[in-house]
Chain A
């Protein structure tokens, strides 16, 4: 059957049957991740306003910092797209360069997020303060952990790409990391609007 056979044309990552299966599997995994984050968003929404005697979000959220974080992550998604584009062109060097830039931007995002968390805790809003802040930290923290995982995973991939070059396997792995990275970006857009923007005005 044609679906089983290995192709000789088309993007490297889609050429082998195994590659196609892995990518489909990862799409389904992203479906599961959507369910996971939806649950976290729903919990956050339910806990909204339940701040007890801890500070309310409007007192703490600061637009400039969140904008910088958003800018970093969105740009990293863009550079990640360029990295995949370089991969498709067959340029290992281009891929590695843009991937490295992506990771630096991701690290920048994480740095700001950690700074933000520490700052809030100083102001008396921590995981233990109230239901609202529990929801906040778990939602954003889970996203942050995903970003950390993505960075570590991509770092391992850089090593493998340098060892083996562009093969159907390495390019498939790279493509999947790319999907993951864009997905985290999408989640952040929801966090940005439904947590920060709404939290600042309500």
Chain B
């Protein structure tokens, strides 16, 4: 008994850190509050029926987005903590170990558990609507994907109160991350958290690929697809070929750590550099996974608010295909300094610079779309307009980093930190915000408040530049990345950066408050087309009925809805309504991934019995699923007519 208590206090729970005690208390309080609210309002059944077991792509999309915003908060707090520590020389807010943990969780969470799920959430909601489908190709698998992400994120996030956070950077380089230099459960959290979430991402890639290839409405040829769907298609292809590499890399390191193999170890002739190669073989395509859908969003938004057809649609598609191809042959640019030799470095230097060409083409396409457009400056458009110059700064500095010889100067400095935040925030985060505000009325039946939206935009956008522009110069001044304390000469720029971070935090807070405010006060949408939209998603009513389209329209060109509007067509043709086949909900995805969580938690602690128990649970769920021949249900014609008539309120 005493042993057990000692174990809990010394190893299991993270103790001795006031910040973490605070986090524990607040987590406990929040959990208790949630349980209380659910019980008091008798919402457990509702939660289970409507959300935990749903296979509806729209609800799954919303859950992804909510989780991603929560993760943006967590990652953002990590970012702020780092900025506080780096504001002044000699700060003692975080010690070096704690700082290491914070930048590791910050980077990992932002990329894996914030950026990707945010975009996948939007993709989930929007793609079927844009192509005229009633769900994704494999709704059950879609739920599996979501729960694998959710439980992966949970596993990664509990590390900081149970067992300790990983601390080898989001890149998790060997031998730092290996068993010898880093014993204990914390690195295992990284490996298992990403592994569990990665399975779901791969499944999502397959799912969207089949959905887009096979479920388009009649007449929706490939070159008539809305550009966001195109970007998602290409993203899915990258996912399918990149994620297995991550799966293997993580598995190899897990086996190294838990079962004593010698892939990345210093002993047994292992090769730590192999990890860097495998990691970035996935990692570079990964950055395109989080940027291409954002490009798609910006394209949709810019064309809608410039009130013009997208300029250079074909060039957009081709350039995305080229980017996707090149993304697999540039990975060495992340470690030019590792000493691969001049020939290898030159090759990767050139391929990297080549990516700038198709990217530049896209920039000109956006500019061309706006040229002579009658631009409306609603919030989604503001995010998109800000994106263009900021992303160009990020891109140009990227080309600077691509020059291998010069990179010996910038490598591992704040120049790099500035560069990737310029592309990740101005690209991905602005894109997520633009997409969310743009599609918000479709999802929730009311717009986000414009005034608050603009306030949050200006705070965030200005804060972002104030925070990260100085970092380029800090990099030139020699400030290394991942350093927990600063030299006095960096102070002026450091203080500036921290002020910027505070402004961004305010911007984010206003954004979140806006969600609440709009829920309370925004006028409700009475029809489906909130922004005078052009693609098919705006043809549906708001709120979107769970079967999406009462009758699937025939597509006659690009910008399907624009054409429909000009002809007065809708997605409800009374004469043509037929019973609609829909998939049944299922609790298996949730339960299966809960078992996966248990098993992975066992592996993290190297409790093999628990890992096996979890695995058995997963297998039993698969077994049950295999014998499940439930093939859904049909929505009756009467129900469809009733729903449509109510939603369209005499419109027809």
Residues of A that sit less than 8 Å from B by CB:
1, 3, 17, 20-22, 24-25, 28-29, 31-33, 35-36, 39-40, 43, 46-47, 50-52, 127-132, 134-135, 137-138, 153, 156, 160, 164, 169
Which one of B209, B217, B261 lies within 8 Å of A127 (CB-CB)? Answer: B261
Which one of A1, A17, A31, A164 lies within 8 Å of B240 (CB-CB)? Answer: A31
Contacting pair A128 B249 (CB below 8 A): no
Which one of B138, B244, B261, B629 lies within 8 Å of A32 (CB-CB)? Answer: B244
B62-82 vs A: 1/0 string, CB under 8 Å?
A: 000000000000000000000
Contacting pair A32 B243 (CB below 8 A): yes
* Residue B3 is within 8 A (CB to CB) of chain A in the complex: no
List B residues 265-279 near A (Cβ within 8 Å): 265, 268-271, 274, 278
Contacting pair B243 A52 (CB below 8 A): no
CA distance A19 to B218 in the complex (A): 19
CA distance A17 to B214 in the complex (A): 9
Residues of chain B lying within 8 A (CB to CB) of residue A28: 206, 209-210, 240
CA distance A164 to B628 in the complex (A): 12
A-B contact pairs, 10 of them (CB 8 A): A35-B244, A40-B248, A47-B269, A128-B260, A128-B261, A129-B262, A131-B262, A135-B263, A138-B252, A138-B255
List B residues 223-282 near A (Cβ within 8 Å): 240-245, 247-249, 251-252, 255-256, 259-263, 265, 268-271, 274, 278, 281
Residues of chain A lying within 8 A (CB to CB) of residue B242: 35
* Residue B544 is within 8 A (CB to CB) of chain A in the complex: no
Residues of chain A lying within 8 A (CB to CB) of residue B271: 46-47, 50, 131
CA distance A56 to B134 in the complex (A): 58
Residues of chain B lying within 8 A (CB to CB) of residue A153: 626
* Residue B627 is within 8 A (CB to CB) of chain A in the complex: yes
Contacting pair A25 B138 (CB below 8 A): yes
Contacting pair A132 B241 (CB below 8 A): no
Residue of A nearest to B246 (CB): A39
Minimum CB–CB distance for A131 against chain B, Å: 4
Minimum CB–CB distance for A185 against chain B, Å: 19
Minimum CB–CB distance for B240 against chain A, Å: 5
Contacting pair B269 A25 (CB below 8 A): no
Residue of A nearest to B281 (CB): A39
CA distance A128 to B242 in the complex (A): 28
Which one of B217, B274, B627 lies within 8 Å of A46 (CB-CB)? Answer: B274
Contacting pair A130 B244 (CB below 8 A): no
Residues of chain A lying within 8 A (CB to CB) of residue B219: 1
* Residue B213 is within 8 A (CB to CB) of chain A in the complex: yes
Residues of chain B lying within 8 A (CB to CB) of residue A24: 210, 213-214
CA distance A189 to B472 in the complex (A): 52
Minimum CB–CB distance for B238 against chain A, Å: 11
Which one of B214, B244, B268 lies within 8 Å of A39 (CB-CB)? Answer: B244
* Residue B448 is within 8 A (CB to CB) of chain A in the complex: no
Contacting pair A32 B206 (CB below 8 A): yes
Instruction: Specify which of B260, B269, B278 lies most central, judged by the most chain A CB atoms within 10 Å of its CB.
Output: B269
Minimum CB–CB distance for A44 against chain B, Å: 10
CA distance A1 to B213 in the complex (A): 13
Contacting pair B214 A131 (CB below 8 A): no
Contacting pair B260 A127 (CB below 8 A): yes
CA distance A134 to B254 in the complex (A): 12
CA distance A3 to B251 in the complex (A): 39
Residue of B nearest to A50 (CB): B269
Instruction: Specify which of A20, A24, A32 lies most central, judged by the most chain B CB atoms within 10 Å of its CB.
Output: A32
Residue of B nearest to A173 (CB): B626
> Taking A21-B210, A134-B262, A138-B252 as contacts, is the C-beta distance between A35 and B218 under 8 angstroms?
no
Residues of chain A lying within 8 A (CB to CB) of residue B570: none
Contacting pair B245 A134 (CB below 8 A): no
Residues of chain B lying within 8 A (CB to CB) of residue A35: 240-242, 244-245
Instruction: Specify which of A20, A52, A134 lies most central, judged by the most chain B CB atoms within 10 Å of its CB.
Output: A134
Contacting pair B269 A21 (CB below 8 A): no
Given contact pairs A134-B270, A138-B261, a sample of 8 additional A-B residue pairs in the complex whose CB atoms are under 8 Å apart: A24-B214, A32-B241, A36-B245, A127-B259, A128-B261, A131-B269, A131-B271, A160-B626
CA distance A138 to B247 in the complex (A): 13
Residue of B nearest to A25 (CB): B210
Which one of A1, A137, A160 lies within 8 Å of B217 (CB-CB)? Answer: A1
Residue of B nearest to A157 (CB): B626
Contacting pair B245 A39 (CB below 8 A): yes
Residue of A nearest to B626 (CB): A156
CA distance A31 to B270 in the complex (A): 29
* Residue B4 is within 8 A (CB to CB) of chain A in the complex: no
CA distance A51 to B268 in the complex (A): 7
Contacting pair B262 A36 (CB below 8 A): no
Residues of chain B lying within 8 A (CB to CB) of residue A31: 240-241
Residue of A nearest to B241 (CB): A35
Residues of chain A lying within 8 A (CB to CB) of residue B262: 52, 128-131, 134
Residues of chain A lying within 8 A (CB to CB) of residue B629: 164, 169
CA distance A112 to B242 in the complex (A): 33
